[in-house]
Chains A and B, each alone.
Chain A
Amino acid sequence: MTPALSVRNLRIEIPTRHGVLTAIDDLSFDIAAGEVLGMVGESGAGKSITGSAVIGLLEPPGRVAGGEIHLAGERIDHLPPDRMRRIRGKRIGMIFQDPLTSLNPLYRIGDQLVETIMTHQRMTTGEARDKARKLLEEVGIPAAKTRLSSYPHQFSGGMRQRVVIALALAADPELVIADEPTTALDVSVQAQIIALLKQLCAERGAAVMLITHDMGVIAETADRVCVLYAGRLAELGPVRGVVKLPQHPYTIGLMAAIPSLTGDPDKPLAQIPGSMPRLGTIPDGCAFNPRCDYRFPPCTTERPVAYAAGTSQAACLLHAPEFSRVAPAETLKAADAAGIRLPKPAGEAVR
């Protein structure tokens, strides 16, 4: 079956005065209809810019410099602006981070909904209003009929994000991009909003690209996870595998850094030494190599691609049989102890 969204070898460049920066380098992933793909990574790893590229709203001078984006089998990354505009909102819905600023403060909720609905569907104003009311009910806003004539400032943050979800789903899109939909919200309403989003998308069979850096949200919501590091894929796989048995040293570090409720409160939190390189200063070879505990000589020269690793794919040379064969024994031993499933021949060498 054709995936709802298929991104192939995507490359996004941002020309600057100091040269061209590569914000996304050779990124490939699919999202099936009805599936939730979590995109995680540090700030600046390229999560949001990937979302913007998919919906065709890259901020100039950023541009898609290579690769392809397919929506339900149809290539959309090179469509003229006007055709792309008709896909936005209708076939791809997007939810932004801050519900407090996503709604135009000067227009009533109902008018914003009706405007969106009538942009994409042939309806009379009356029918559109009726649909707007139904949408508000679906996202759990009480007294939807009277709330249609409220202004955004008369809603709380959580309520506004519900309205934003209603707006994003107004035309029943096949793909919903949710860019940190709960980051700006109270912890108490985060879970509700995520559950609501997941439920509504499941009912509509919409694929979801969930961008976040909250591993808790990912673990609860996503079917698969895509971990980005410095604009490159680190690991991609089913959520259980990535969370329980991460295969890329970066993902291992990320998971170890999540504080545990049952752990010793006096113990310092685990962290990955150093910080993610800026876009202009990504090292040769593996982007993560200066911070990696399992680095071995080829890591500084050979660029890893996605290799099969357990249930996932990981862009780490340890998973490439031709490289892990030459890795020092103690590196392999440490990696094995950390749960990295080394390729067969190398695994025997360790034993």
Chain B
Amino acid sequence: MIAFAIKRFVQALGVMLVVALISFMMFRFVGDPVNQLVGVDTSPAERAALRETLGLNDPVMLQFGRFVLKAAQFDFGISYQFKQPVAALIASRLPATLELSFVSALFALAIGVPMGVYTGLYRNTWLARGFLAVSLIGVSLPTFLIGILLIFVVSVNLGWLPSFGRGQTVNLGGVWSTGLLTKSGLQSLILPSITLGLFQMTLIMRLVRGEMLEVLRTDYIKFARARGLSRRAINFGHALKNTLVPVITITGLQLGSIIAFAIITETVFQWPGMGLLFLQAVQNVDIPIMAAYLLLIAFLFVVINFIVDLLYVAVDPRIRLDGGTAG
């Protein structure tokens, strides 16, 4: 088990190094960083001095090593447009994006799994068919359209919920500003969460349904019926648990992409998260922010995958590698 964890950890380090290399190369390919920092009237001598102090004359490998070392200490340099440390900028935006992402994922799971179980068990009822039809909309409509439609109906026409922003936030310990503790914060969270989570929800529903149909055909479910177990025990105890491994995989991967692709939802709802920051960075060629964002997203993916691997082990005893097997 520990060997397994260590192996995965080493693999994760490798992935992070590769991503670091890519984000490091952005600096070199998008043009001379000195040009981004100085004005037009800076003399060549001053430029050369700046070049020297930034270490841009060192060998590339040395520069990369320095980049990695600094990144490991959360030092991503100074943002070109805000003239502030990138780490501080991201830290101030991170809570908004993470809260939105986790609430969306929770919404997707809490609605998607029961709907999947229901449509798997009673696949011929009209309600199950209705769920499936609705899920098609969720899969095929683009996120921005769903967001705009929700704003149009719920915020503009009905006036029930705010159409943009995070509402009031509460600062926890000076590092985490949360919108989960105020009424307006919670209200502001609803529409973006639905927009961001709808696709995942329908995906999870279809996945659970497919897995349920598969599992219900297996011999051990037949045997469980032959043993006279109650429907509840069979459907939820025996069948649902066996569908969990693929569901955990997909949910984990999707959580990563929810965070990464919150950009669109954040733009539609003017949500002050990392995605919005990233878009502004792209518009202004603010490479330090883009590089840091890339690294952060890769890091989140790696962490989530690591957790997913550990969850497999918790759910499925066959994956516990140290468990002895009789031949």
Interface residues of A (CB under 8 A from B): 55, 57, 85-90, 93-94, 96-98, 101-107, 115-116, 119-120, 151, 153-156, 159, 164, 167-168, 170-171
Inter-chain contacts of A167 with B (CB < 8 A): 223, 227
8 Å CB contact of B226 from A57, A153, A155: A57
**A151, B320: Cα distance in complex, Å:** 11
**Residue total for B at the interface (Cβ-Cβ under 8 A):** 27
| A-contacting residues, B232-276, CB 8 Å | 233, 237-238, 241-242
8 Å CB contact of B233 from A98, A115, A155: A115
Inter-chain contacts of B218 with A (CB < 8 A): 101
Inter-chain contacts of A89 with B (CB < 8 A): 226-229
Stretch in B76-84, B196-204, B310-318 touching the partner:
B310-318
**Residue among B218, B323, B325, B326 with the most chain A CB within 10 A?**
B326
Is B125's CB within 8 Å of the partner chain A? no
Inter-chain contacts of A156 with B (CB < 8 A): 326-327
**A103, B241: Cα distance in complex, Å:** 14
**Interface contact B242-A55, CB-CB below 8 Å:** no
Q: Nearest 8 CB-CB pairs, A to B?
A: A89-B228, A88-B228, A94-B226, A101-B219, A89-B227, A151-B317, A102-B223, A104-B220
Report the minimum CB–CB distance from B221 to chain A (whole Å).
8
**Residue among A85, A86, A155, A167 with the most chain B CB within 10 A?**
A85
Interface residues of B (CB under 8 A from A): 218-220, 222-231, 233, 237-238, 241-242, 315-318, 323-327
**Interface contact A154-B323, CB-CB below 8 Å:** yes
**A107, B241: Cα distance in complex, Å:** 10
Inter-chain contact total with CB atoms closer than 8 Å: 87
8 Å CB contact of B228 from A106, A119, A151: A119
Chain A at the B interface: mostly helix, strand, loop or mixed?
mixed
**Interface contact A88-B242, CB-CB below 8 Å:** no
**Interface contact B229-A119, CB-CB below 8 Å:** yes
Report the minimum CB–CB distance from B109 to chain A (whole Å).
19
**Interface contact A154-B223, CB-CB below 8 Å:** no
**Interface contact B230-A119, CB-CB below 8 Å:** yes
**Interface contact B219-A57, CB-CB below 8 Å:** no
**Interface contact A106-B317, CB-CB below 8 Å:** yes
**A221, B223: Cα distance in complex, Å:** 24
**A151, B326: Cα distance in complex, Å:** 11
**Interface contact A88-B227, CB-CB below 8 Å:** yes
**Interface contact A88-B220, CB-CB below 8 Å:** no
Inter-chain contacts of B241 with A (CB < 8 A): 106
**Interface contact A96-B219, CB-CB below 8 Å:** yes
Inter-chain contacts of A97 with B (CB < 8 A): 219
Inter-chain contacts of A106 with B (CB < 8 A): 241-242, 315-317
**Interface contact B228-A90, CB-CB below 8 Å:** yes
**A90, B226: Cα distance in complex, Å:** 10
Listed A/B pairs (8) with beta-carbon separation below 8 Å:
A103-B220, A104-B224, A104-B238, A105-B317, A119-B228, A151-B323, A153-B325, A171-B228
**Interface contact A116-B220, CB-CB below 8 Å:** no
**Interface contact B227-A119, CB-CB below 8 Å:** yes
Report the minimum CB–CB distance from B313 to chain A (whole Å).
12
Which A residue's beta carbon lies closest to that of B218?
Answer: A101
**Interface contact B220-A151, CB-CB below 8 Å:** no
**A118, B211: Cα distance in complex, Å:** 28
**Interface contact B223-A103, CB-CB below 8 Å:** yes
Report the minimum CB–CB distance from B302 to chain A (whole Å).
27
**Interface contact B222-A57, CB-CB below 8 Å:** yes
